[in-house]
A and B are shown apart, each in its own frame.
Chain A
Amino acid sequence: MDAVAPAHSLPTPVVRIEGLAFGYPGDRSQNIVLQDLDLEVRHGEFIALVGQSGAGKSTLLRVIAGLVPAIRGHVQVEPLQEQDSRQVGFVFQDSRLLPWRKVLGNVEYGLEGLVKSRQERHRRALAALELVGLTDYATRWPHQLSGGQRQRVGLARALAVRPSLLLMDEPFGALDPATRHGLQDQLLAIWQETGTSIIFVTHDIEEATYLADRVIVLGGTPAHILRELKVDAPRPRSRSDLADDTTASSLRRELYETFFVGGSA
C-alpha cells in the first residue's frame, strides 16, 4: 500500500524554530505568552510537548501551524519531497469533523484544492482511512461514530495531506484510558510506517514517555522551554516495562519535579 512514502533520514531538521515569540495586544504593551523559543525537529522524530494547562503548548502548536502569527522569530517547515502535500497536518482535541459530510468527505477535506483529480482525492482518503483502520466507516456520518473513532478520522484527515509535520493537540485527552491506550499504539504503528515527524501536545507524562523520542517541557510566564529530555527506552515499548524501567522513572521524576517546582526554571 503506497499510502504515504517513508521519510528520508536527512541530517537537516524538518522543522526549525528560532527565537519565536507570541503575544496578544494588551492595554499598554503586548502580553507576551511565548518567548525565546528555539526548537529543532528531525525527520521522523516524535516529540512530546508537555506542560501545565495554560502553559502555552496549544498556542505554540498553532503558531507552528501558521494559524496564529508570531510576533518575533520564525518557523521553518520543510515540505516533503512529495507532490501534492501540505507542510502541516493538524489533529484537534475535539476531532472537529464537519457534521454535514460523511467520513470519507471529511478525510478528503484537506485534499481539496491540493489534489486536482477527484479520483486521486478519493484514493488517498481511502488509503488514509485504511491506515487508521476505518475503511468500513467511509460512508457513515460523524454523529454515528464513537469519540475514539472520530479522533481516528481526524487523524486520517491529517495524514491524507502527507504532511512533513503532524501537529497533535492533546488528541486523546477526551477519551477513556482503554481507548486512549489503543489509539496510542495505533498512532505509533502509523508513525513507524509513514515516518512523519510529530509534535504531540499532552499534559499526561506517562503518555509522553510512552510515545516520544524527546520530551520538551514548556512553562513559565512568559512560556519558554524549561527542559528537554531524551527518552532512550528502546521500541517497541511496553507500559509496564516503562513503569519499572529506572531510566524512564527517573525521567518521569524529573518531569514531575519540573512541573511541580513551578513555573520558573
Chain B
Amino acid sequence: MEDQDNTRKRRYEKPEITQVDLRPEEAVLAACKASTGQGGGGPGGGNCRAPVPCSSLGS
C-alpha cells in the first residue's frame, strides 16, 4: 500500500515566477482601432476621435 501511495505522488516542482508582458494601452482600449470610422482606420483615417495618435493602433 505504501509503495502505491509513493508512485501516485507527483514530483515536487519548485515554484517559479514567470513574467508576462501586459500592454496597458491595448488592454484598456486606449489605442485607436483599425475598425473605427466608416472609412476605415489608420493614421488620421475615418472618424477616430481618440486624442492619442492613430499610429498607435491597438491591433
Note whether A and B form a binding pair: no
Which residues of B are at the interface with A, using a C-beta cutoff of 8 A? none
